[in-house]
Chain A
């Protein structure tokens, strides 16, 4: 029997370096990259790198051998090779100006078909939904792109179409759960078939020309190529799940025969679809969402009431409430407010929305409509205002959704300084720092106490006011007194001097008395001391020095911590270090908050005081003038 050689079995044969993979597949690096992106093949981290790299220690990109073998059987490898041939032949035609042949060839351009790859990468529909985050984020980005050299117009148009379709689904299914305005963009989280799908819609005009080293659009474009196909199939299934016609269409009621529709129906429809403001054509007639929910609730009730089920029930109720959060409200979006994200939010929670028809087609009603309940504005002031509606800033919508209730609008009025916008994605039960605003949201009683503290502050300030008033009075009294003394000096006689002498005599007498008292005191003191010695003293309660106890405990804990097993020592140290940094961060945030609040308070106080002083001075002046 042959003696097995090193690296002929085991981990060394499981992995293959990229260079070897290229050689095996007979592809160029670019093609290989494209193939990997499309097929979702990624490098692997071996358990023992040195063994996997056949003894070499420098870090290589390693693929699983089975993955590469799997790629070998992929049909698009042949298409990639056909591309090469196509490029060669068509460039030849172009060079010899054989345009007839070139045209024929262009018509036969080898297209890559990715349907089977979607199925293969996501064997179940739920798998596809799980992986939708990156897809949506990238497609939302690409849908805003201008036509670039590496990104054809068609691709970005397709991205726009698919994302709009997806948004239609989100609106129709009312599956939006959380929203957040970050400095990077708008975060949306929807719950689709029990999967949480989060995506980012960038703020306006995210495209900036980038250097090749910074951003390679080619790579992103390949990703988009796959993601568009994937999202298309996902949309198809999602739409059918809701009984909506897939390439979204409108019921005939929307398409009234006016001039616009007759002129160019296709563009009219696509505009309206992009506006996200109309119900789509359904393939059935019945609305059944709410019924389903009711059934669920009943089932839950039957199951009894363990904690988990109660929690689930609560959640279900909350979600049900959230779905009809804006029902019956009519919104109007002002022109300076980003339209699309707000339309998604309002419409997926049952509100009605419109905007100025001149900024985007598809507005439902005018600004002058009296039934509008809320107008969303994002400017410091507004010319004409209607009394019948609330003028609020866009953050109100986001905060309402995250709180799952309609918040009072007074903090969000036109031109008001907004309260901080908190992220709904942080775990509220975490042990790190929780800002006071969030605490207040979690525990409504805290709001009251906070307000109370405000009141107490106010009281304190009132006291201060009183003292200020007192000072004012004092000053006036002083003035009066000075005037009096002046008068006295003018008309006064000898009486004043006599009074002084009498005072001096009194002092001497009192001194004598003191001496005698002292002698008596000494005796008494001695007696007292003796008595005290004999007397029963009341026992003192032994007070435990908490600090010392704590220190002792800490010491004890430290000693015990030194008994950690040697093999766990590094891990233990790491954990402790992590904990410490976390604590330090928390402490830092708390400290910053405290200083900020103190500063604000101080500023408020000084402002008030100054105002009052000014008022007082003005009053005094007025009084003087009155004189």
Chain B
């Protein structure tokens, strides 16, 4: 027997008080039967309507019978499913159960305790009315609904709503894109009514007097005109009254259950013995708990809470016993502590001195470097506040702290020795130039007269005259002391190189112009000397050796023509290629020429006394730049582009190869003692070779800012000079000691920069005066300058 069934029964019984009035039991029974009949009938009606359903459920009926012993539960479920087909059985059951009800159902008894004032009519309308009744109402209503009746007259459950659109409880905007708005009960589309635009609406608003009471039904899209009752209802709701108009709020209170405590109990059942005696099991449990509390196995909630409180948060104690003692523990390998953050300077102050604030330009620059903040001068923009009150929180503070955290755990660390030295410290300690005097310091004379760049200059061995060769195809002879041009010798081609014979007993200048090498008697100075030289060059010595074909093709010696004789030219040596450089041997008998295009015959040695030429090399070892005779030994220096080779002329073998490690050699000069060689290169370097020391440069000097064109040692003083395309002549001190253990001392002394620049060229050649510490330089600005 279940509650559900009893409830249902109660609903069906119009008068629940029948048991109290025991006398009219028989008549009541009859009534009951009538009512049951009445319930049965509509059920049968509904089966007629839903024939298919019946068939379907008849299958399940077998099962029902099979399980029918469990009665109520099963039945109740069936009824919730809404089948009215088994009402027959149900009713049978109920009849059987009625008697049982009377006996033992206590709930029913309690209900019967209530005062016997009957109220049959509202019982029908209550929501707890039987589900079968509900079934009946829905089945009856749906096909044809009586519009005159109020909607919720028979029942006000929400299930009974008028459903014309079957889409269910969905957001209606899902149908926004369609023409229909849902489906009716016949699965036909409910078409959306014609929708006018705002103007239509507005017109209707004006024309239609009932516009204010028309509402759109969201489910059907139809306009609904609200009735007066509806409006009254709405008004009531908006005013916060109870919606039902008939409800009387001030009706007298009916006390269904008494609030007074009765002196005598209503029911007379004596209390069970259990309610007087204390429970043994509980007592056992309590004693067990008490014991547990005593023993500390269990804790009171208070204690637990306190312990939890105490446990929360870290505990601190004396971790380090003393300040400096350390316990041996395994630590991280080779710890490197993170460097501390920089401390703030004046610029970070909230009220800095005014010069620390950015001006417009600095601000702009600071803002411009937004993408590369590391390039900024300061990582913040200095600000000035009038008072502490106005200082806001620093907007990047969090970010800075975060970056510091990242630094601490993500930045690789290493121990580095920070070089805290002054730049001065790196400059080698050299003696002061003032202690190394004399050396040229000022420009004292300018020799003007050439009309094109002056390629080469050479000084007479006695130091009175100067010869220069220029691109204007002239050779000029100057008096050094006065700067006067004594003689101009015109040639056919550009003069590439001039060289005064170093023998003081001869007065010959070798002039390289085009393919020809001219030996010129300048006719200056001692007349005896001039005469002697003329005599010497007048007649050719007898050729006793037959020259090879190779040399004959390359060089022809000849005496100069008459017109050239007048100019001073005495001998002409015609080469097969243009000559670039000519250099004398120290004694003045031999001279060497360089023809870069001559391949294996590019270097030639001529002997003046015998008017004979030699080709020292049979094989080309590279593009020869310049050649040089050793001042003392029979050695010959040949500079190719990268290297310098030293040959012994007597043994005819290679002595040494100097590695310059530079791209292109431009010139070289040898120290008068013959142990040190200075090489200039086009890649801005000057190389000092100590020939005894190594084949690699002893020192590389980068004194010039541009290609170095030429270098020269002084014959007497420990000086050397270099001329470069940066228009500067740099005079340096280059002391070579007799003591082999002491390395040469090199001190740059003076930069002389008075030449002017002409198409990338500055100084082309430098030469020292043979006696005085004077230096001559020729430049692209058509001048020769003397520095003393």
Contacts and interface: CB of A to CB of B under 8 A. Distances in A.
B348 A206 contact: no
Interface stretch (A2-10, A36-44, A75-83, A352-360): A36-44
Contacts of B341: 133-134
B350 A421 contact: yes
A596 B352 CA distance: 14
Contact of B393 (A203, A563, A593): A203
B619 interface: no
Nearest to A74: B330
Interface string B299-340: 000000000000011101111101111110111111111101
Interface in B732-757: 746-751
B38 interface: no
A141 B423 CA distance: 42
A281 B685 CA distance: 79
A219 B402 contact: yes
A229 to B, nearest CB: 6
Interface residues of A, number: 115
Contacts of A39: 332
B195 to A, nearest CB: 47
B145 interface: no
Interface in A155-201: 158, 180-185, 187, 193, 198
B326 A45 contact: no
Interface in B401-428: 401-402, 404-406, 408-414, 419, 421-423, 426-428
A138 interface: yes
Interface in B366-404: 377, 380, 382-383, 385-389, 391-395, 397-402, 404
A378 interface: yes
A575 B395 contact: no
A44 B394 contact: no
Contacts of B312: 154
A288 interface: no
Contacts of B749: 559
Interface residues of B, number: 90
Contacts of B775: none
A42 B346 contact: no
B150 interface: no
A237 interface: yes
A232 B316 contact: yes
B702 interface: yes
A187 B414 contact: no
B563 interface: no
Given A184-B394, A563-B701, A137 B401 contact: yes
Contacts of A437: 353
Interface string B221-235: 000000000000000
B398 A207 contact: yes
A311 interface: no
Contact of B344 (A41, A180, A214, A558): A180
A593 to B, nearest CB: 4
A119 interface: yes
A393 interface: yes
Contacts of A426: 343, 345-346
A571 B326 CA distance: 41
Interface string B279-291: 0000000000000
A585 B330 CA distance: 48
A305 interface: no
Give the interface SS of chain B, mostly helix, strand, loop or mixed. Answer: loop
A20 interface: no
Given A126-B324, A561-B427, A42 B412 contact: yes
Interface in A407-448: 417-418, 420-423, 425-426, 435-438
Contacts of B318: 236-237, 240
B433 A40 contact: no
A336 B389 contact: yes
B249 interface: no
Contacts of B406: 219
A563 B734 CA distance: 13
Across the A-B interface, the 6 shortest Cβ-Cβ residue pairs? A425-B343, A45-B414, A66-B333, A575-B423, A123-B326, A593-B355
Interface of A: 33, 36-37, 39-47, 61-62, 64, 66-67, 70, 73, 114-115, 118-126, 128, 130-131, 133-134, 137-138, 141, 154, 158, 180-185, 187, 193, 198, 202-208, 210, 214-216, 219-220, 223, 228-229, 232-233, 235-237, 240, 246, 336-338, 378-379, 393-395, 417-418, 420-423, 425-426, 435-438, 555-556, 558-566, 568, 571-572, 575-576, 579, 585, 589-590, 592-593, 596
25 contacts: A40-B335, A41-B409, A42-B338, A42-B412, A64-B334, A126-B323, A133-B341, A138-B401, A180-B344, A205-B393, A214-B398, A220-B401, A223-B408, A229-B314, A236-B317, A237-B320, A420-B353, A421-B352, A438-B346, A563-B430, A563-B703, A565-B428, A571-B419, A575-B426, A593-B353
Given A64-B333, A182-B348, A202-B394, 8 more contacts: A62-B412, A70-B333, A203-B394, A208-B393, A236-B317, A423-B349, A435-B346, A563-B747
